[in-house]
Amino acid sequence: MKNREQRDLFPGALEMMILRTLKRQPRHGYALALHIKRTSNDLLQIEEGSLYPALQRLLKEELVKAEWGISSTSRRVRIYKLTAKGAKHLEHEVSRFEKMLDGITRVLAPGES
């Protein structure tokens, strides 16, 4: 059995990806999962299920909101939207992530020692 850390990549990564995806357009859970999988070229092995606890966390923190609606395949689904607070949070997280990535890249860069 995989534990949560493996599913989540690093803490907050999944949330960040969800927020980024929702920034482009509101989606429901299944579409979100598909999109993340597809855009990452299946590089990220995410259990689809792990999306839902993450979404619940975002809902609780009011970074996203959800409404019941009808999907393109005419199903009753819950569509998630980014809130203003969520957009701000995403911006903050992305810049933090980029800084971190930048740092890691520098350290990992070959040649210098």
Partner 1 sequence: MMWLKRLFSRRRLYGELSEEIREHLEEKIEELVAGGMSRKEAAYAARREFGNVTLVEEDGREVWQWPSIESLIADVRYGLRMLRKSRGFTATAVLTLALGIGANTAIFSYINAWMIKPLPYPQADRLMVVVSHDTKKGWTRNSVTSTADFIDFQKQNTSFEQTTGWAGWNFNLTGDGPPTLVEGGRVGWNYFETLGAKPMLGRTFIPDEDRAGAEHVAVLSQGLWQSRFASDPRIVGGNITIGGESYTVVGVMPGTFQFPLMGIANLWTPLALTDKERTDRGRSWFSAFGRLKPGVTLEQAGAESAAIFARLESQFPQTNTNLTLLVSSMTDEIGKEEGTTQVMISFAIVGLILLIACANVANLMLARATGRTKEFAVRGALGATRSRLARQLLTESLLLFFVGGVAGMFFGFWGIRWIESQIPDHIRGYLVNYGHVDLDVTTLAFTLGITMLCGLVFGLAPAFENSKLDVNRTLKEASGQASGSKRGARLRRIFVAAEIALAVVVLISTTLLVKSFLISVRSSPGYNPANVMVAQLALPKTKYAQEWQLRRFSEDVLARIQALPQVVSFGAASSVPYGGFGQAVEVEAVGKPAPQPGERFGARFTAVSTNYFSAMQIGLVKGRLFNSADEQANSPSVIINQTFARQFWPDEDPIGQKLQFGERRTVRTIVGVVRDIKMYYLRERPERQMYVPLAQFPSGTLGFVVRTTANSAAMPTAIRDAIWAVDRDQPVSSVEPLEMLMVIQDAGNRVLTKLMVFFGALAMFLGVIGIYGVMAHLVSQRTHEIGIRTALGASPGRVMGMVIGQGMKLASIGVAVGVLCALGVTRPLATVLYQVAPNDPLTFIAVPIVFAGVAAVACCIPARRAMRVDPLVALRYE
Q: Shortest approach of partner 1 to residue 8 CB, angstroms?
A: 11
Burial of 19 (0-12, 13-18, 19+ CB in 10 A): buried
65 scored as a contact of partner 1 (CB under 8 A): no
43: contact with partner 1 by CB under 8 A:
no
The first and second tokens of residue 62, run together, are: 């009011």
Choice from 13, 30, 35, 81 touching partner 1 (CB under 8 A): 30
Q: Which is nearer to partner 1, 30 or 97 (CB)?
A: 30
Query: Which one-letter amino acid corresponds to residue 105?
Result: T
Q: Alpha-carbon distance 1 to 8, whole Å?
A: 14
Q: Where are the alpha helices (DSSP H) in the chain?
A: 4-8, 13-24, 29-39, 51-60, 84-108
Q: Which of 78, 88, 92, 99 binds partner 1 (CB under 8 A)?
A: 78
User: Does 38 engage in binding with partner 1 (CB under 8 A)?
Assistant: no
| CB-CB contact of 81 with 29 (8 Å) | no
Min CB(46)–partner 1 separation in Å: 9
Identify which of residues 6 and 25 has a Cβ nearer to partner 1 in the complex. 6
